[in-house]
Structure 1
Amino acid sequence: MRDLGTGFRYLLKGQRWVARHGKQYEFGLIPGLITLVLYVAALVALAIWGEAFVSWSTPFADDWSSPWQGLFRGFLTAVLFALGLLLSVITFTAVTLLIGQPFYESLSEKVDRDVSPDGTVPVSGLPLWRELLISARDSLRIVLRAALWGVLLFALGFIPVLGQTVVPVIGVFVTGFFLTEELTAVALQRRRVELPERLTLLR
């Protein structure tokens, strides 16, 4: 509970900083908007061509009689779209951070400079291209971990009762864990805290 209270106080401090720096808030929204457009486009494409993809990938059902062919392929199309939607939710922040690395690096430096007693900012000492490479590598690792959890939870969701009660709660905790890692990655990476250490720190 002590850690929860500390985290909540930092949340309030962060919100006060955002309230005093409105332009920085708008600046930080740009990567999220870019990612949102890309994800919406991908989901729309999946909705439009998902049925055709399912038909192409299930040639064994071509000779099935009605209504079984339609029911089977309709079910697979719905599952495919639901899985795409789930992966979008889980990976959205990681992809946003990857796209917005230069944006968030700049914002993180400004926050550190404002809250630092002497105005100094921790630096990694690495060239920009190396930081971007590390960020891309770590984001990919997080996306893969999140995707594996997403597929597992999606499959467990079909278990009667547990799939509709316990699994969604676990999904919230898993999503929150990865979201926290992604949101703290920029500041911790600049302090040379590697991904395994960050994951251990958040447990």
Structure 2
Amino acid sequence: MGGPLGGPVGFAQGAAYVVKGFGLWRTRPGLMLLGMVPALIVLVLVGGSLVALALTVSDLVAWLTPFADGWGTGATVLRLGLAVLTVVGAVLLAIATFTALTLAIGDPFYERIWKETELMLGGDVPDEGPGFWRSVRDGLVLMAYGLLTAVVLIVIGFLPVVGAIAGVALGFVVAGRVLAGELVSRPLEARGLDRAARRDLLRPHRSAVLGLGLATQAFFLVPFGAVAVMPAAVAGSTMLARDVLDRVPARSPSGRPG
């Protein structure tokens, strides 16, 4: 934790909060195991859906293209291309919506981790929070944002030579930034800060929020890493929020730093 008038939290410090979040495995392993449940549920649902699609996509494409039955080799090429595009599109959709679904389903689980982290850091746990339906709405907004981002990245991917690399890199950064913003919002919302106040508060610490998000996203690249990292990211984002709050002298009744 920083001093009350400390400077902005940096990128490396933001990434380190994820590592600090994993420290709860030592002190509260049962709670952290519970925090893995939402991501595991979503992983099973999404993974099962993708497997089912992969097993039936050829029949689905053939059903959708009866006009190509007499095309011979042309029908095979067309249907193979459509099958590949369908599976790739489904994978991109799964990636874009995984985090939103996990956050929406996992709100009751992550709330316990957030509260325990608040208690561990000292002081009372704020009782003003977003509530279940607000969390669901935020999850849907995040999902819609993810879908829009996926469409943009697909378009970028068609750029010659650098398109695929640029699309993947940009998608990684955008997804990490959005995820971190959603995670940090809970402890700030619980203190009555609206969206504008949160934006003002976090503006000097944008690199730290990005560091937290990219470190979390890095675990998504490891098999089952998303399942393991989500409870640690919730704890780490709470620590980051508390550190940021400790670096401002006071806040006005509107919730903005004073």
Name the TM-score class by shorter chain. 0.7 to 0.9
TM-score normalised to the size of structure 1? 0.84
Q: Does 1:178 align with 2:185?
A: no
Offset at residue 6 of structure 1 (A)? 3.0
Larger displacement relative to structure 2 (169-178 or 9-18): 9-18
Corresponding residue of 1:103: 109
Corresponding residue of 1:91: 97
Superposition map of 1:35-50 within 5 A: 35-50=42-57
Contact residue 95 and residue 139 of structure 1 kept, 8 A: yes
Contact residue 114 and residue 187 of structure 2 kept, 8 A: yes
Corresponding residue of 1:144: 144
Offset at residue 125 of structure 1 (A)? 5.9
Decide whether aligned partners of structure 1 residues 182 and 58 sit closer, same or farther in structure 2, where only a CA change above 3 A counts.
Answer: farther
Offset at residue 124 of structure 1 (A)? 1.2
How far, CA to CA, are the matches of 1:59 and 1:192 in structure 2?
Answer: 57
Offset at residue 23 of structure 1 (A)? 1.4
Offset at residue 181 of structure 1 (A)? 2.6
Decide whether aligned partners of structure 1 residues 98 and 195 sit closer, same or farther in structure 2, where only a CA change above 3 A counts.
Answer: farther
- SS of residue paired to 1:124: coil
Q: Does 1:113 align with 2:91?
A: no
Question: Deviations along 1:20-42, whole A, 9 cap, x unmatched?
Answer: 22111111111111111111111
Decide whether aligned partners of structure 1 residues 47 and 182 sit closer, same or farther in structure 2, where only a CA change above 3 A counts.
Answer: farther
Letter in 2 for 1:149: T
Corresponding residue of 1:191: 191
Decide whether aligned partners of structure 1 residues 195 and 66 sit closer, same or farther in structure 2, where only a CA change above 3 A counts.
Answer: farther
Decide whether aligned partners of structure 1 residues 150 and 194 sit closer, same or farther in structure 2, where only a CA change above 3 A counts.
Answer: farther
Contact residue 42 and residue 98 of structure 2 kept, 8 A: yes
Structure with the bigger percentage of helix:
1
* Relative contact order, higher structure (CA 8 A, sep 6+): 2
Question: Deviations along 1:96-131, whole A, 9 cap, x unmatched?
Answer: 111111111111111111102x3x1012167xxxx1
Identity within the alignment, %: 33
Give the superposed CA RMSD.
Answer: 2.5
Decide whether aligned partners of structure 1 residues 161 and 69 sit closer, same or farther in structure 2, where only a CA change above 3 A counts.
Answer: same
How far, CA to CA, are the matches of 1:195 and 1:76 in structure 2?
Answer: 42
Larger displacement relative to structure 2 (178-187 or 32-41): 178-187
TM-score normalised to the size of structure 2? 0.67
Contact residue 42 and residue 101 of structure 2 kept, 8 A: yes
How far, CA to CA, are the matches of 2:24 and 2:135 in structure 1?
Answer: 25
Contact residue 129 and residue 191 of structure 2 kept, 8 A: no
Offset at residue 52 of structure 1 (A)? 2.5
Question: For structure 2, which runs of at least 5 residues remain unmatched after alignment?
Answer: 1-7, 207-258
- Aligned residue pairs: how many? 196
The structure 1 segments of at least 4 consecutive aligned residues displaced by more than 6 Å after TM superposition are: none
Decide whether aligned partners of structure 1 residues 56 and 157 sit closer, same or farther in structure 2, where only a CA change above 3 A counts.
Answer: same
Decide whether aligned partners of structure 1 residues 125 and 88 sit closer, same or farther in structure 2, where only a CA change above 3 A counts.
Answer: closer
Offset at residue 2 of structure 1 (A)? 5.1
Question: For structure 1, which runs of at least 5 residues remain unmatched after alignment?
Answer: none
